[in-house]
Amino acid sequence: MSEQNSQKHSFQAEVAQLLHLVTHSLYSNPEIFLRELVSNASDACDKLRFEGINHPEYYENDPELHVRISLDKTNNTLTISDNGIGMNQQEAIDHLGTIAKSGTKDFMSKLTGDQKSDAQLIGQFGVGFYSGFIVAEKITVESRRAGTDASEGVRWVSEGTGEFDVEQIDKASRGTDIILHLREDALDYLESAKVKQIINKYSDHISLPIEMQKEIWQQEEAAEGEEAKPGQYVKTDEWEAINSASALWTRNKNEISDEQYTEFYKNLSHDFEAPLAWAHNRVEGSTEYTQLLYIPSRAPSNIFTREAKAGIKLYVKRVFIMDDADNLIPNYLRFVQGVVDSADLPLNVSRELLQESRDVKTIREGNARRILTVLDALAKSEDAADQEKFKTFYAEFGSVLKEGLGEDMANRERILKLLRFASASNDDVVTSLADYKANMKEGQKAIYYVTADSLNAAKNSPQLELFKKKGIDVLLMTERVDEWAMEFVFEFDGTPLQNVAKGAVDLGDLQDAEEKKALEAAAEQFKPVVEKLSASLKDKTSEVRVTTRLVDSPACLVVAEGELSPQLVRMLKQAGQAVPDSKPVLEINPSHPLVQKLESSAQFDDLANVIFDQALIAEGGLPEDPAQYIKRINSLLLK
């Protein structure tokens, strides 16, 4: 197609910003560009394998898939070619001119200018193509989609600034050629030895051949009496593979180094950090499959959005089937990356079939058990490096893991063993449920915990006052998911779990007979006040009662067993969920001067409402009518 029909386009704003960062040495390791582009080429071949199941004509007359690297010292170009699925003109515009993944605004908002953290984000958002501009002053992409006519090729050209040109071309072969016009300071990437070294380091595991032109040593003979001329390597017409071209997960794990596992993960996930741990196993039985699963060291930015998907690639008998096969891992383990290669699923498996397949259910359960086993080993390890890995894991993914308490009943006890919480006795150090149980006071019959919107709110909760007085530790649960997740947990290792803000406080053997007798006496003494409070606050409370759980506060709010806590009610309302009407119980401290003042107060209703609203504020809520609350406070202050 003639040059005049070339169309000029502007990059998406986020891409323009990204390219600015890339061209200003964002990547601290420039050779990474080759890994990224070879990985993309390999993915294109995988996609042809998948589409070729139903469209064998896509292979045309070229059934052997490969990636080829060509070095041209005359024109200073490095070309990565594949004979995979290719692109048509619109796909080239869409894929190379925009960040195709959702969440681009969130992505750009997190860019800080710090090379290391920004590079991690780029990896997470899968925009490795742009890494070519680390070494290239211009990139030309020529592509034709498999199954289209030779005249429907496309050429995409950009110098990495604000625009790119697209034109239609004739291209005899399907697939994509990425031609890097190297900058002067990057010409060492035209040396075949350097390129082979990079491929061996980063891409040796890729399951199809990465080829370069075979070179032979040519030594010209000198004429008689002349000095010997220097020899040189000369390219032949023959192509040879420079990688082992065997899928890493199919190899014996005893033959694979930690470095190879790590580099495979980086290619698979486009992450720039090494994984925390991995599991590689061949599972045999009623369902046969190979699993290679990785736990990343950093959570992706969209981990808590609906867009987040598990990063599991599904293969059937080494044929790539799909990315993001989220049916192969439970949702609470969606951060796991890896590969599953099934020997039993059909090649034409669809996402709908994955939802119904018994084999898939077996694989999903097996993957969950394997990841939990890896995490358990890290948690129990006495090795300092493993302990640090588990600490990193929990900081990044602990909140997601807790979702499993409500989603995976079969593994609930295993998940509980992995959870860590701050406690009232030491909020700087997290503790496991097992450690808490081992340190319970003699006579203590339950594991006590409190939920709150923040750590400060939890450790200063009025409900803890009696527990602190008696030296009984209480776990502090302060994440949004805690309130929901603990609705599914009733005991740990045979010991009940008790939310101290639910039901009447009963410390059993930890309360002596005198305390119980004093409570009965106070309840009788304050019976008229309780009745009057119940009448005054009938629209706000379901019950008013005297309690011994309070030491310094005048009152607190609790809910009946089986009812939703105020935190969960607020959370559900914020999410737009309908919640049943319920009123909390107001418990009053008969020893507090403010409560004692109630008996003779001329402003009983005002003081009663202020006590209730203060109790509501103490547990993280807000008065229903803040203006009225302030008015009552001011009135009482003036009196």
Per the annotation, where are the binding residues?
A: 36, 40, 82, 87, 101-103, 124-129, 176, 351
Provide the pairing of β-strand 153-158 with 420-423: unpaired
**Bridge partner list, 321:** none
CB 587 within 8 A of CB 555: yes
473: nearest Cα among 437, 506, 509, 518? 437
CB 451 within 8 A of CB 567: yes
Provide the pairing of β-strand 337-342 with 447-451: unpaired
Query: Edge-to-edge, what's the strand order for the sheet holding 447-451?
Result: 426-432, 420-423, 475-477, 447-451, 495-499, 491-492
Query: What DSSP character marks residue 12?
Result: P
Cα first-last separation, the chain: 90
| Residues making up the binding site for ATP | 36, 40, 82, 87, 101-103, 124-129, 176, 351
CB 505 within 8 A of CB 466: yes
DSSP states of 20-37 as a string?
HHHHTT--SSTTHHHHHH
Q: How far apart are CA 617 and CA 37, in angstroms?
A: 56
Provide the pairing of β-strand 175-182 with 163-169: unpaired
Q: How far apart are CA 603 and CA 317, in angstroms?
A: 80
Provide the pairing of β-strand 67-72 with 77-82: antiparallel
Q: How far apart are CA 555 and CA 379, in angstroms?
A: 40
Query: What DSSP character marks residue 592?
Result: S
CB 219 within 8 A of CB 233: no
Give, in degrees to the nearest 5, the angle at Cα 402 between 620 and 333: 140
Q: Tokens 């090649």 — which residue?
A: 347
| Residue 330 identity (one-letter amino acid) | P
Q: How far apart are CA 261 and CA 108, in angstroms?
A: 30
